[in-house]
A = this chain, B = another copy of it.
């Protein structure tokens, strides 16, 4: 960490700042330039809050040098993390497609979709039981019943299930869920993250609408610091000024996350665009950019879906897309 000091800092205040740092176990390096004086802090500065200096009279600004994420950092863990789920691998050379409806609506619906996406080649089933809706008047999901229906579909097809948690008191209810999803709006619900850190189930962590890549990794760090190393990162679009798509898929986040972290990275092209006709193009782009998987919305009757119909593929469209995905995953030398 580097402190840029104001011009001609008061000698006494400078000495007391250096002493304060020494007390905390940091040594320092002072460098006087023509326009600025710079104080480098030497040691593990990850626990220093940069803001704690900003009000110091002689400090003009603070520049952090080290990354604040440790367990999610590839520097600390050079090999890719692979999540193993009863024989299904996520990460490294394996490519996973998770598919299913935005919301679980009925047993018939979820079982039919599960069979269909399995046949097309999906390895996991997604479906929303608890739905984060902007409006209190919108359909909030079948909740506990939704999870039961997902488990029914799992029994029928063998597909592991992925579903979103919105409430830290529900963790017991998710005991038979295979991957617990944290939605974009809860990416910084730190109490929920801490609770999930205590379990060993894989967590699919979605990036928040307005969260930086660094904040994204810090939220993964919350889960990992609690003891749960099984985190899957999911890029799902960020909020920008563009209104033609619901969000803006940050495709660069894929290679960046793969470079600076060892965690698997999957992409949600359905929420990223909000437009079903863009899902195939964004899926292809994500594979090419190095993603470890996709999570795609499929509905057997999108025009009548209770939520997010606009972004869902129907089973026939998904089947066509999966055939293309297979060719592309093979082209990349990965295993579907």
Contacts and interface: CB of A to CB of B under 8 A. Distances in A.
B244 A272 contact: no
Given A55-B309, A218-B135, A282 B278 contact: no
Contacts of A277: 255, 259
A304 B136 contact: no
Contacts of A8: none
Contact of A244 (B194, B214, B286): B214
Contact of A51 (B44, B308, B328): B308
Contact of A134 (B66, B132, B139, B218): B218
A163 interface: no
Interface residues of A, number: 106
Contacts of A254: 281, 285
Nearest to A281: B255
B166 A168 contact: no
Contacts of A281: 252, 254-255, 288-290
A203 to B, nearest CB: 14
A268 B166 CA distance: 28
A277 B311 CA distance: 32
Interface in A280-336: 281-282, 284-290, 302-312, 328, 331
A239 B210 contact: yes
Given A2-B38, A241-B239, A288-B287, A167 B168 contact: yes
Contacts of A218: 134-136
Nearest to A51: B310
A209 B238 CA distance: 12
Contact of A44 (B35, B40, B47, B209): B35
A292 B185 CA distance: 28
Contact of A190 (B38, B56, B132, B304): B132
A115 to B, nearest CB: 21
A87 interface: no
Contacts of A209: 210
Given A49-B138, A185-B189, A31 B31 contact: yes
Q: DSSP class of A's interface residues: helix, strand, loop or mixed?
A: mixed
A233 to B, nearest CB: 14
21 contacts: A2-B2, A2-B38, A29-B29, A31-B42, A35-B65, A36-B65, A38-B40, A55-B305, A56-B303, A136-B194, A137-B225, A185-B189, A189-B189, A208-B210, A238-B248, A251-B285, A252-B282, A255-B282, A256-B278, A284-B288, A288-B288
A242 B225 contact: no
Interface of A: 2, 4, 29, 31-36, 38, 40-44, 46-47, 49, 51-57, 63, 65-66, 68, 132-139, 166-169, 185-186, 188-191, 194, 208-210, 212-215, 218, 221-222, 225-226, 238-245, 248-256, 259, 272-274, 276-278, 281-282, 284-290, 302-312, 328, 331
